[in-house]
Amino acid sequence: FCLPGSRNAVATGWDKLIEAQLDTRTRPCNLAELRPRLRET
């Protein structure tokens, strides 16, 4: 993930975007479930 340097921007990015994507309960899609597929080449 790429985040801006500001502490507030990093906190917002984590709270509003990244945290939910790493949670397998996020529906309909999340990055946690896609991780194994990202290794496929």
Position 8 scores a pLDDT of 93
Give the chain's residues under pLDDT 70: 1, 41
> What gap in Å lies between CA 22 and CA 32, rounded to an integer?
5
Please list the alpha-helical segments (H only) found in 1-41. Answer: 7-13, 19-21, 31-38
Position 25 scores a pLDDT of 94
pTM over 0.75: no
Position 41 scores a pLDDT of 63
Residue 34 identity: L
- Using alpha carbons only, what angle is made at residue 36 by residues 20 and 17, rounded to the nearest 5 degrees? 15
For residue 30, give every residue at least 6 positions away whose Cβ sits within 8 Å of its Cβ, in sequence order, or none.
Answer: 20, 21, 22, 23, 24
